Each structure stands twice: as C-alpha cells, then as structure tokens.
Amino acid sequence: MKFNTKTIHGGQEPDKAYGAVMQPIYQTTTYAQSTPGGHKGFEYSRTHNPTRSALERAFASLENGEYGLAFGSGLASIDAVMKLLKPGDEVISTNDLYGGTYRLFKQVFEKFGIKFHFIGMENAADIEQYVNQNTKLIWVETPTNPMLHIIDIQAIAEVSKKHNVLLAVDNTFATPYLQRPLDLGADIVMHSATKYLGGHSDVVMGALVVKDKELADKLYFIQNASGAVCGPQDSFLMLRGIKTLHVRMQRHCENGKKVAEYLAKHPKVEKVYWPGFEDHPNHEVAKKQMRDFGGMLSFTTKNNDYSEAIKIVERLQIFTLAESLGGVESLAGHPASMTHASIPKEEREKTGVVDSLIRLSIGIEDIEDIIADLEQAIG
C-alpha cells in the first residue's frame, strides 16, 4: 500500500458492529464481561479503547512499524521512553531540540540519576566519544527545532547498533510523509501528533511507533501503568486529521519553499534556516532521507535586535503568533521567549537560538497572502 493510501486506509477497516466507515467514538470507561476475565478484547479504557486502538494501528502503518502507541501529549510519549531507563543510565541527545524535551530531560529525569549529554549530531562520528557502558539511548530530532539542523539517521543508527544502544527519533517536523526513521534503522519513532499529524490545531497528542515486540511490550506496560493516554474523542479527531496528511504536507512543502526563497532575498533578513537550500549544512543528507524539505523554517534579521523581532511577530496578520506548529494555518513564534524559554540563554545561544530568531510554521493558505503578510511585517 502506497503512503497516500495508507493515510486513509492504513490499519483501518469498517467497524465490526455496524460497518461504520469512520471509526466510531467509543466514549466509555469500561466494558461488560460475561464472566470474570471474559470480554471481547477490551476491559478498561486506560488499557485499551477501540477508537484509540484504531489510531494506534494507523500510527504504526504510517511509519512502517508494527506497534503504535498513543499518549495524551508529545511529552507524555517522551516520558514513556525515558521510563525505559534506570538511575545511572546515560542519554546522548542532540543539543538543538524542543525546549519542552530539554526541560523534561534536565529538570525531571536528571533528578532521578539519568545523565544527559547534549551535543551537535551533524557529524555522526562525533557521537562515539560520548558512548560508554552506561549509554542506553540516543535521542535525535531531525530536522531540529528550531534551527532546522539535519541529522543523518542511518549513520546514527549504525553507531547505536554497534554499541547496542536504543535510537529514538523525534519525527514531528518531517512527519512520515517526508521521512520514516524506522526504515533508516531507528528503534523508536516519536511524534508530537498535536502538530502535523493532527494538522488542525484542535487536539493535543503524542505517538510512539516501534517494530520490535519486546520493546513494544515494555512501552505498552508503561503506557498502561502510568496512564498518560488520550481519550476516544481526541483519537477520533487524530484519525480524521491523518486522512489529509499527504495533501496538507504537499502544500506545506510548496509554500515553505517559496517563503524560504523570498526571505533569503529580503534585504532586512540576515539568515534563513531551511534544509532545502543547497548551502544548508547536511543538505545532501536531507535529500537522501527526506522526500521534500517541509514547511518549517527560521530566520534572523540583519540588525539582530530582540525588539525588532518582537515587533515583526506582533505585526503579522495572516500568521498567528502562537505556540505550536503544523496546523493548516500559518503560525509564527519567537523561540527565545516562547518554545525554548526553558533553556538557559547561554545554552540556547550556543545552538543559534538567539533573541532575534523567528520561527515560522508555513500553513496552506494562498502563498501570495502569506508573502504579503511577511512583507508588511518585516517592512
């Protein structure tokens, strides 16, 4: 089954009860049993729910995985992965990553005796010096948030396999439409499904997908034991959003390319971060592992002024100044004061997240309106 077909049919079938084409919302907490333990596969909705199970099958299908898990948020899914570890274990993470992930690693799990190394991963060979007998996980974002660095998943997978270390990839920015990390050797794929998978800014959710049954069983246990699951209504909304993922991503990519090219020529713009440019570091890696270059980009203005960046995002009209990304509407953000505010200034500036950086999530509106909005805002 080709990808565009999978978004509509992957892991899905008409409902067995009445043949409903769309997965029904099973708004129930519990299920009748004919005798203790005698049920039809469902006993309590924290453990399983038919609507959520359909969604988890869809997640697995999109990523060419075998097992999918849905959580109440992207961070809840990352939390579940971290719970595979124990005190004394070490994690190697990319140093340019979502601020909420950094906060979870540093302020929650570091207190429990897990050590984190935040490093640049543009060159996979740089990782090996940090691997030791305590290393249990490599955490990758690619493209990274918000600097759009590209990391070679296949090369990192070779390192992880060599040292018997799990490799998890946050695929939120790319989506399985653009890249599928499991096919490149990753063990775990994570999504903040809130973003592109849902696509309509109306549901908060996280996802994990794996191929290995033993690993899946551990994660299912954590999912059930910790209870950070999503409800059936949210599962229904996510299933509906996924059905248009392929057509939305095509337009996100088309519009993103035109905006990147426009900003690169703007006299007041200093630098545009977008992996589709030939001079972007690891552009060739992006071409190899991605189908297209996505709808996310960041840029800085020439005067590198904090107040000017704030004025630009406040003047935008088609773009909405808001947290999050990946919806049908164009969104703008100021990472230093919004999504990455939890990262200390000196740490975020090492990766390029300076006070003048603006991050754009390019929506699927008419491209002429999008560019006209940027023109009036930047001036």
Domains parsed from the chain with CATH numbers = 3-242 (3.40.640.10), 246-378 (3.90.1150.10)
Per-residue pLDDT, averaged over 81-95, amounts to 98
Is the confidence at residue 270, as pLDDT, over 90? yes
- What is the reported pTM? 0.96
Q: How far apart, in Å, do the first and last CA atoms of the chain sit?
A: 48
> Among 15, 31, 46, 243, which one carries the catalytic annotation?
46
Q: What's the pLDDT band for 349 if we cut at 50, 70, 90?
A: confident
Mark out the alpha helices in the chain (DSSP H runs): 3-9, 50-62, 74-82, 99-103, 153-162, 175-178, 213-226, 232-242, 245-264, 283-289, 306-315, 345-350, 367-378
Looking at residue 344, what is its pLDDT? 87
CA pair distance 61, 78, nearest whole angstrom: 20
Residue 190's φ and ψ, nearest 5 degrees, are -120, 145
Active site residue 170: yes
- Count how many residues are written for the chain: 379
Indicate left, alpha or beta for 71 from its phi (over 0: left) and psi (-120 to 50: alpha): beta
What's the average model confidence in pLDDT over 104-123? 97
Specify whether 98 is catalytic. yes
- Residue 320 carries which DSSP code? E
Residues β-bridged to residue 299: 272, 358
Catalytic residue (choose from 26, 98, 177, 220) = 98
pLDDT band at 351 (very low <50, low <70, confident <90, very high): confident
Average confidence (pLDDT) over 278-293: 97
Q: Six-digit token pair at 260?
A: 């990147």
Q: Is 96 a catalytic residue?
A: no
Q: Please report the pLDDT score of residue 343 as a whole number.
A: 85
Task: Report the share of the chain in percent with pLDDT over 70.
Answer: 100
Mean pLDDT calculated for residue range 129-157: 97
List the catalytic residue out of 195, 211, 248, 359.
Answer: 195
Query: According to the model, what pLDDT value does residue 33 have?
Result: 93
Give the three-class secondary structure for 118. Answer: strand
**pLDDT tens for each residue of 111-120:** 999 999 999 9
228-261 pLDDT tens trace: 999 999 999 999 999 999 999 999 999 999 999 9
The pLDDT > 90 percentage for the chain reads 92
* Catalytic position from the list 79, 96, 152, 170: 170
Mean pLDDT of 290-310: 93
Distance from C-alpha of 262 to C-alpha of 183, rounded to nearest angstrom: 34
The model's pLDDT over 328-337, given as tens digits with 9 standing for 90+, comes to 999 999 999 9
